[in-house]
Structure 1
């Protein structure tokens, strides 16, 4: 079976269910029912290549996408590469690398990313996000607290919870732009490698999907979708 033929089997009855995480503004922007950004663009290209109708399955956080992987709710998705997740789902090569950082209070003493990891500091993160996993491993002194999706964690931080909130830079900028009492640190907490995924780590069709991602990178599609 050719790789193209293998990709066609991802759709059922002519429908390709694609998990779209709207919590990551670097990848997805949503206005009403309209989805734009590099992830929806890749999803549409894949559906078009295999002659299927793309049906978005909307999620507000990456953790929920991962949790539903074994529940037959989506056929293909987009998630940050992580060893723990790789025990359950299959990853392609990354199609984009994005930055995560912190938002802090304007009057907070933190100047650099490293300053946040101090005794007595409370850091808020979105449950199951790539930066949640990074912070779980890397924080030595600060206390880590978790809350739902990225937008939920941002709103709780705005309301006064914790001393810093982690997030994708684009999402933090979208949430706190124009907020006089909140600033975003310029440093990089972690670089997040985003990939397309299948909900089963043993699915052999990941090779065909990886080839699809490679072609989309090489022919300039991914870069064009980022800048659209």
Structure 2
């Protein structure tokens, strides 16, 4: 399997697409250092195959996916989605995270996730995110609007756009922690299955990468680096 994984690197360099818009998986420190489970997995993979790691940083999952097949990254981290799977190859998930909504603190009519899909309610989401795709398929009554990356959508919501904004719970909590005008719902919009991903279909390479992910889960590596950011 190591030979197949080593083939992912180009000229001894492994380019890993890292989405900083998901705080449950990635945290960017003030000096630019990336911490969290996704960067840790990228470092472990590069170390195992003897490659230098180059992180290709993106502000949102939609941008990572848009660059798949453009020769800009060799391995990435995305939420599993059937439509994305037509273009890219996923491993089994290494972690499952929650997405939910933030609403105005004084919006008493929005107390639960089930209250969101109602006539007259407007919902904001990050373009191309896993929860964007989920809401596109499931919303029946509320109006859905999109705004760039997760931080873009959070900023637009804070500035007054829409009645609710969707996001990964950890990202919403991090962004709105000091904003008393915003309330984060306790319910779950959807569970997002996060996986490692190749920018194209390659049965041999994705099998090897899936074995790498399985080892990282079974030996406690994923759990240790997920707990480190809580």
- Relative to the length of structure 1, the TM-score reads 0.98
Q: For the Cα contact (< 8 Å) 2:4–2:204, is it kept in 1?
A: no
Q: For the Cα contact (< 8 Å) 2:75–2:198, is it kept in 1?
A: yes
- 2:180 maps to what in 1? 180
- 2:132 maps to what in 1? 132
CA drift at 1:201? 2.3
Secondary structure of 2:69 counterpart: helix
- 1:13 maps to what in 2? 11
Secondary structure of 1:148 counterpart: coil
CA drift at 1:81? 0.1
CA drift at 1:178? 1.8
**Residues in 1 aligned to 2:110 and 2:71: alpha-carbon distance in whole angstroms:** 44
| Unaligned ranges ≥5, structure 2 | none
- 1:28 maps to what in 2? 26
**Residues in 2 aligned to 1:119 and 1:44: alpha-carbon distance in whole angstroms:** 47
- 2:37 maps to what in 1? 38
Secondary structure of 1:200 counterpart: coil
**Residues in 2 aligned to 1:162 and 1:55: alpha-carbon distance in whole angstroms:** 38
After superposition, where does 1:18-97 map in structure 2 within 5 Å?
Answer: 18-31=16-29, 32-97=31-96
CA drift at 1:70? 1.5
- 1:204 maps to what in 2? 204
Give the alignment's Cα RMSD to 1 decimal: 0.7
Q: For the Cα contact (< 8 Å) 2:157–2:165, is it kept in 1?
A: yes
Deviations 1:132-175 (A, max 9, x none): 00000000100000010000000000000000000000000000
CA drift at 1:33? 1.9
**Residues in 2 aligned to 1:165 and 1:85: alpha-carbon distance in whole angstroms:** 23
CA drift at 1:203? 4.8
Secondary structure of 2:25 counterpart: coil
Following superposition, which runs of at least 4 residues in structure 1 exceed 4 angstroms of deviation?
A: none
- Relative to the length of structure 2, the TM-score reads 0.97
| Unaligned ranges ≥5, structure 1 | none
Q: For the Cα contact (< 8 Å) 2:4–2:205, is it kept in 1?
A: yes
Aligned residues: 226
CA drift at 1:12? 1.0
